[in-house]
Amino acid sequence: MGAIWSLLGYPDTGRTDDPDPVTELTSRDRYLIKSSYQAVRKTPTDSGVALLNLYFKNHPEAKQLFPFKDVPDSELSQNKRYQAHCNSVIYGFSAVVDAIDDPDILVPILAKLGETHVPRKVTKELFMQLRDTIIELFSSFMKPEEMDAWKKTLKVAFDVITGAMK
């Protein structure tokens, strides 16, 4: 039925009774993730700066792992190297959102994120703290229904990321 509504020009907002066997996300969850993420994707550098500024405010020790660790907080948002990194992080999120309907691609993308961060001394705890910061930031502009889908998605995504960190 959803496909018919789509053909008629109505958005297919998904079902709530069809959890994916791997991620347990319903098509409604996945619809909410993709639609609410559009605002984040539109301005990747600004979104990434907002996220990492909040992350470093909550967890200043995380900043010490980065090449821009000595840039004062008051100058960080204008630093081009920092902006470039923030932009890459949002592109990383975009790859996750774009693969949300295809667990065969999604799981390896997430596992790779975990693996590539181990040599950078990123711990599981730092990842979980980033997850909480994403929830804090997104809650400031997304609807409760969208946040429910994000909390569910971030739980499974970060479990896969940290599970791949040996």
Residue 43 or 88 having the CB closest to ligand HEM: 88
**Among all residues, whose Cβ is closest to ligand HEM?**
92
CB of 150 to ligand HEM, least distance (A): 13
Cβ-contact 109, 99 below 8 angstroms: yes
What tokens appear for 8 in the block?
Answer: 């008629």
The one among 28, 30, 117, 152 contacting ligand HEM by CB under 6 A? 117
Looking at this protein, which amino acid is placed at residue 90?
I
Binders of ligand HEM among residues 16 to 35 (CB under 6 A) are none
Torsion of CA 51, 55, 58, 62, to 10 degrees: -170
* Nearest distance from C-beta of residue 111 to ligand HEM, angstroms: 12
Nearest to 161, CA basis, from 120, 99, 116 = 116
Q: Which of 67, 72, 119, 144 binds ligand HEM (CB under 6 A)?
A: 67
